[in-house]
Amino acid sequence: MADKPTAGEILGVPYNFERPSISRMLSAHWEPGEGMLVEKPFGIGYTLNLANWRSWLVLAVAGILLWQQEQSSASAENTETEDEPVEVIVDDE
């Protein structure tokens, strides 16, 4: 039986299942001169290229949104009111 390829593309999406090394992992996330997205050093798809300023912008926006979500959930916990029963009056005419 033929060996299956460990790296390539399927429908335009890259994959790489070769055993990862530290140098390959580090160099994949820092590729000056490349675009914002680069092929993952291990797995399927793309990852952010930290040598590109747009990647840092994406990370900053994601961090701000996460911080905002945490703040809103914390304020919701502090302002919880105790649920009280409500009296409903039905007027039969």
Residues 25-49 have pLDDT tens digits of 888 889 899 899 999 989 999 999 9
Q: Domain count of the chain? A: 1
Domain that residue 54 falls in: 7-77
Residue 12 lies in a domain: yes
Cβ contact 57:49 at 8 Å = no
Q: What pLDDT, on a 0 to 100 scale, did the predictor assign at position 70?
A: 92
- Span 76-81, mean pLDDT? 64
Q: CA-CA distance, 67 to 62, in Å (whole number)?
A: 9
Residue 31 counted as domain residue: yes
DSSP annotation of 6 reads S
Collapsed DSSP state (helix, strand, coil) of residue 46: strand
Residue 14 lies in a domain: yes
